[in-house]
Amino acid sequence: MGRVKTLAKLIRKLNSFQQRHKPLAFSYAVIKKYGEDGAGYQAALLTYYSFLSLFPLLLLVVTLTDSLAGRHPELARTVIHGLTDYFPLLGNQLSLHIHGLHASGLALAAGILFILYGTRGVADAFRHGVQQIWEVPKSQRDGFPKAQLKSLVLIIIGGLGFLLASITASLAAAAGHGLGFRVLSTGVNLLILFWLFTFLLNFTLPRHVSLKEARVGAAAAAIGLVALQILGGYVLTRELKNLDALYSYFALSLGLLFWIYLQAQVLYYAVEIAAVSSKKLWPRVLSEPPKKDD
């Protein structure tokens, strides 16, 4: 009996403390909503579809790059360099295993359309996760064929956006090795990812999300993804050592899954932040104090 009262009093104090401090209250609300929405499972689903879509999409990029190589060889090298830079430590291995489609004209166009259609699962998973977090009623969600068309647009715009962010950051970094160039590279990356997230959020949801509503989540997504890029070399070096020792030939695949899952979590946490911020879903109450019968 005495222990129950003591525990209930402690929970009330902790609850009062976290509600009085805005950063703590907001952080707790985001973490709690992330768990309630099953966002971790949504991130795992997005990781699965992203992994399945990765090689076809890389095949598409390399194919288009190969077609540019004859006329613009420098641009082609920049695209490949930016692409491999997006996957710390894994990019070079990926580039060795990806070769473009050897086709032209209608055959090439048909191959590209087939790849885009086959990879729309990643966009479907992302849209479902965002709408789940935003609590969009099923009656307001897009049906056939609008949903399929939206997924294709998401793949094209989202893929180009991430590629553009990586390429521009690589170009800025390649211009020099001083602190100023590093800051410029990071700043360009942040800016592109901020606006890309804002677009993806608006395009996925049935209602318009203003910049004021989306900016906190967009900033979190941009900062989180850039931080992952900066720390990715260290994180993957440590992880791949263990994977190489245990799984040998499967290390590349497992490393990619690990890397994609980290990014999926960052994206969904950013969506949670945007939802909690725009809908004023904070402060939240801690778990209920234990009852006497407990």
Q: CA angle, corner 59, sides to 116 and 124, nearest 5?
A: 30
Residue 16 lies in a domain: no
Residue 126 lies in a domain: no
Instruction: Supply the pLDDT for residue 294.
Output: 46
pLDDT at 37 over 90: yes
Residue 133 lies in a domain: no
Residue 130 lies in a domain: no
Mean of pLDDT values over 101-105: 59
Instruction: Supply the pLDDT for residue 36.
Output: 93
> Closest Cα partner for 259 from 81, 102, 94?
94
Give the list of residues 6+ apart from residue 55 with CB closer than 8 angstroms, or none: 98
Mean of pLDDT values over 42-62: 85
Full-model pTM: 0.85
Instruction: Supply the pLDDT for residue 88.
Output: 67
Identify the H or E element spanning 269.
helix 251-278
Residue 95 lies in a domain: yes
pLDDT at 100 over 60: no
| 73 pLDDT tier (thresholds 50, 70, 90) | low
**Under a CB-based contact definition with an 8 Å cutoff, are residues 284 and 29 in contact?**
yes
Residue 13 lies in a domain: no
- In degrees rounded to 5, what are phi and psi of residue 137? -60, 145
**Under a CB-based contact definition with an 8 Å cutoff, are residues 155 and 118 in contact?**
no
How many domains does the chain contain in total? Answer: 1
pLDDT at 256 over 50: yes
How far is the C-alpha of 185 from the C-alpha of 190, rounded, in Å?
9
| 71 pLDDT tier (thresholds 50, 70, 90) | low
Instruction: Supply the pLDDT for residue 127.
Output: 94
Look up residue 266 and give its two tokens: 């960052």
Residue 208 lies in a domain: yes
pLDDT at 290 over 60: no
> Structural domain of residue 79, as residue ranges?
33-120+142-278
Identify the DSSP state of 294: -
pLDDT at 89 over 70: no
Mean of pLDDT values over 53-69: 74
**Under a CB-based contact definition with an 8 Å cutoff, are residues 192 and 150 in contact?**
no
pLDDT in tens, 110-152: 767 777 776 788 999 999 999 999 999 988 998 888 888 999 8
Q: For the chain, what is the mean pLDDT? A: 81
DSSP 98-122: -------HHHHHHHHHHHHHHTHHH
Helix-helix angle 120-133:105-118, to 10 degrees: 30
pLDDT in tens, 158-211: 888 888 887 777 676 666 666 777 788 888 889 999 999 999 999 999 888 888
How far is the C-alpha of 78 from the C-alpha of 43, rounded, in Å?
30
Residue 242 lies in a domain: yes
| 14 pLDDT tier (thresholds 50, 70, 90) | confident
